[in-house]
A and B are shown apart, each in its own frame.
Chain A
Amino acid sequence: MSSSEAVAARDLTVRYDDFTALADATVTVHFGEALGVVGPNGSGKSTLLKAFAGLLTPSSGELSVLGTQPHRLPPGSIAYVPQIEAVDWSFPATVWDVVAMGRFPRLPFWRRFGAQDRVVVGRALEAVKMESLAKRHIAHLSGGQQQRVFVARAIAQEPRLLLLDEPTTGVDAATEEALRQLVRELVAGGMPVVMTTHDLERVDEWFDRLLVLDRRVLAVGKPDEVAASGIYAAIREHTHTHGHLRTDHEAHEAHATHPEVRP
């Protein structure tokens, strides 16, 4: 693995019981690069992110994240931003409280939550334009605001790798644009970013490279090059007409019956 590679996956396969969610995926992510991951529902996009985050153990293949296996990294190295449905938003916490959690991985219990931590949390809130809502209870947020809180928490963590799971799904246009600018700023600062998306518009404005996934890597390259290939067009066409691509009916049912694989 060269020093410019933040993530190097080789023939990565993830199986749940006898169902293969991801097969022989070879993917690299460089520092200072945003990699977009597109594909139909159940194509293994979330599985790929979770494997990178160390949340899933690959069944076979090699995976190196920031030079080692994900679970061997020092706390705080990887920031994973899940879809907002992943948590209970009635939890007793304010916007500030949730973003402050981003500091916890690097904060041993004997150390106080200090002035420096507060500065970082404040900056993270500014970065997603949520500083005015810092004291608001999280139950009283729109979907877009919840997504911004999650991203702010990830930034407050000061990670070395940022993984975003469909952050633009169900958010308002202002949030989407704020997130896009933020991702581009982070990437300009050298951060490696991997992001899954359903939204095939403007992929060239979001990403440096695009990966098309359907449980296998179908294509990878510059967004416009991938766009020129038929695979991308097929997904694009199908996404516009049916919401997702699915040619293989049986495989689709296999996904639907497996709760681990979120569409």
Chain B
Amino acid sequence: MSFDALVEPFHYAFMQRAFVAALAVGILCSTMGTYVVLRRLSFIGDGIAHASFAGIVIAYLRGANFYIGAAVVAVVTALGIGFVSRRGRISLDTTIGVLFTGMFALGVFLMSRQRSYAVDLQSFLFGDILSVQPQDLWLILGLSAIVAATVVAVFRGLLYTSFDPVVAQASGIDAPVYEYVLLVMLALTIVVALQAVGIVLVAALLVTPAAAAYQLTSRFAPMMALAALFGAFSTVGGLYLSYYLRASSGATIVLLATLTFFVAVGSKYSGRLSARRS
């Protein structure tokens, strides 16, 4: 394959936008994924993604920006989860199982009454990163910057409350506040990632790169950095591969992340990359 053929994807403006979006989404999702993996929030991430579908559809039907609709529903949902997990008398699993599938069904119901139902549903479920518009890109980069700045600001508190929320609370760190901040950041991250990989696959992007990094590191900050690297590799590499394979970009991204995970597990057990957990 000639050099020209290798750089061909970068000639198109829509591909350039897609690559920038993929890079931002990859880094953002896997950074937040570090918390998702360590605090076991993957089911919550999946739930938020599905619930936000109702918001997307309502925004879409009203001709509003779908990011706004998704963001409102995702943040409200995330705060609701935080509340139920602290105060609720029904188990969180049950709440997510009942409410979020219900919200998702509401989205499908509203959408199915439209004529172009199948095509649009497909792009929401599995993402359509090639259709990222310039204004979408600015929204993605803006939200990424907000989440990144917040992670820096609450880094120590989130680290402490992720490891030992009870002792952190006793020492005067307000653990519930950190949990709510984390859930809101998670909701915004999911909204940003929806266009890239879609509702069905977003949980993979949250969990897989961080889980791969967890295999190879024994400290928190290196885990987060390595997760971001794996995430960026998966999204950018997956998008690039999908161009030549003529395959769904969202699916290719997730498959590449999955491959990264198994390579990480393999190298941990083969000892080629020392796990350094000595």
Contact = CB atoms under 8 A, between A and B. Distances in A.
Nearest to A75: B172
Contacts, number: 93
A116 to B, nearest CB: 16
A76 B38 contact: no
Interface in A48-68: 53-55
Interface string B149-164: 0001111110110111
A91 B276 CA distance: 14
Contact of B171 (A93, A137, A157): A157
B163 A93 contact: yes
Size bin of chain A's contact surface:
35 or more
A84 to B, nearest CB: 11
30 contacts: A55-B170, A75-B172, A79-B171, A80-B166, A80-B171, A81-B167, A82-B164, A86-B167, A87-B164, A91-B163, A92-B218, A93-B163, A93-B220, A97-B220, A101-B156, A101-B159, A101-B160, A101-B163, A102-B171, A104-B171, A105-B171, A105-B173, A107-B156, A109-B153, A109-B155, A136-B278, A137-B276, A137-B277, A140-B277, A159-B171
Given A86-B166, A92-B38, A136-B278, A105 B220 contact: no
A74 interface: yes
A109 B172 contact: no
Contact of B166 (A77, A82, A92, A97): A82
B209 to A, nearest CB: 14
Residues of A contacting B: mostly: loop
Interface centre among A91, A92, A97, A109 (most CB of B within 10 A): A92
A104 B157 CA distance: 7
Interface in B204-243: 214, 217-220, 222-223
Interface in B118-171: 152-157, 159-160, 162-164, 166-171
A65 B159 CA distance: 27
A155 interface: no
A112 to B, nearest CB: 11
Given A92-B218, A97-B219, A137-B218, A109 B156 contact: yes
Contacts of A86: 164, 166-167
Interface in A97-139: 97-98, 101-102, 104-105, 107, 109, 136-137, 139
B171 A75 contact: yes
A98 B164 CA distance: 10
A185 B214 CA distance: 39
A54 B170 contact: yes
Contacts of A54: 169-170
A76 B172 contact: yes
A73 B171 CA distance: 9
Contact of A94 (B38, B152, B159, B218): B218
Contact of B169 (A55, A88, A92, A137): A55
A92 B172 contact: no
Contacts of B220: 91-93, 97
B38 A91 contact: yes
A74 B172 contact: yes
Given A91-B163, A92-B218, A73 B277 contact: no
Contact of A82 (B153, B156, B167, B218): B167
Contact of A78 (B163, B170, B219, B222): B170
A109 B154 contact: yes
A137 B164 CA distance: 16
A92 B171 contact: no
Nearest 6 Cβ contacts at the A-B interface: A75-B172, A80-B170, A53-B170, A105-B171, A137-B277, A137-B218
